[in-house]
């Protein structure tokens, strides 16, 4: 029995299982409605389009974005997802809802800072995605809000996409003027992909 074919096969399976379980590399998208595909068919969302674009490179996207998510909500749930998926890359797209609700920028920055530290501790790369607020929130608040992302990227030495919706045209938004339409999703995907590419090597 010591050198039986059954025992050899069992040993081979035991050796193979841990490798196959981690053979696929995960990219975790962690954002709000802009990444969850609010108002568009999932197959048209930028996250789905990105999955199609990079599937041949052995990456699988886990989209854990939730419409209405705040930085505090993200901070409270990111650790579990990092433990569950052990992602190679995390695309962090949060803060917009904080800004639209007029939350203290210091609190939002602290929450994003904690999440970026969690990502680093999990030995994953981070792509931080910034947002901009409408001008009616006042120059002081909007400038501090936008600068928050650059400060965090510099502190944690992570890749930054300054504005997710850069280049999206006025007629490519839904009726609420906040969420991009299906027509804008391929452009948004290209924005993300351009910043993501260096992290896929």
Q: Do 186 and 168 meet the contact criterion of CB atoms below 8 Å apart?
A: no
Our answer to whether residue 41 is catalytic in this structure is: no
- Which residues have CB under 8 Å from 200's CB, separation 6+? 54, 57, 59, 89
Tokens of 171: 């007629």
Q: Which of 20, 32, 33, 41 is catalytic?
A: 33
Our answer to whether residue 140 is catalytic in this structure is: no
Q: Which of 4, 20, 56, 176 is catalytic?
A: 176
Q: Which of 48, 179, 181, 195 is catalytic?
A: 179
Our answer to whether residue 183 is catalytic in this structure is: no
Give the catalytic positions in this structure: 33, 176, 179
């Amino acid at each position: 029995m010591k050198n039986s074919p059954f025992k050899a096969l069992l040993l081979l399976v035991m050796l193979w299982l841990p490798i196959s379980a981690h053979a696929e590399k995960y990219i975790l998208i962690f954002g709000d409605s802009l990444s969850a595909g609010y108002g568009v068919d999932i197959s048209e969302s930028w996250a789905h389009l990105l999955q199609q674009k990079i599937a041949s490179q052995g990456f699988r996207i886990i989209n854990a974005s939730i419409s209405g998510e705040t930085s505090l909500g993200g901070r409270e749930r990111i650790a579990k997802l990092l433990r569950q998926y052990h992602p190679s890359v995390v695309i962090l797209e949060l803060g917009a809802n904080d800004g639209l609700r007029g939350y203290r920028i210091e609190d939002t920055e602290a929450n994003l800072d904690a999440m970026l530290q969690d990502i680093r501790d999990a030995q994953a790369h981070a792509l931080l995605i910034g947002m901009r607020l409408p001008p009616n929130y006042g120059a002081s608040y909007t400038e501090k809000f936008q600068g928050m992302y650059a400060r965090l990227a510099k502190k944690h030495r992570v890749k930054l996409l300054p504005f997710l919706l850069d280049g999206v045209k006025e007629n490519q938004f839904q009726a609420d003027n906040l969420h991009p339409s299906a027509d804008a999703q391929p452009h948004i995907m290209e924005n993300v992909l351009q910043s993501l590419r260096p992290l896929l090597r």
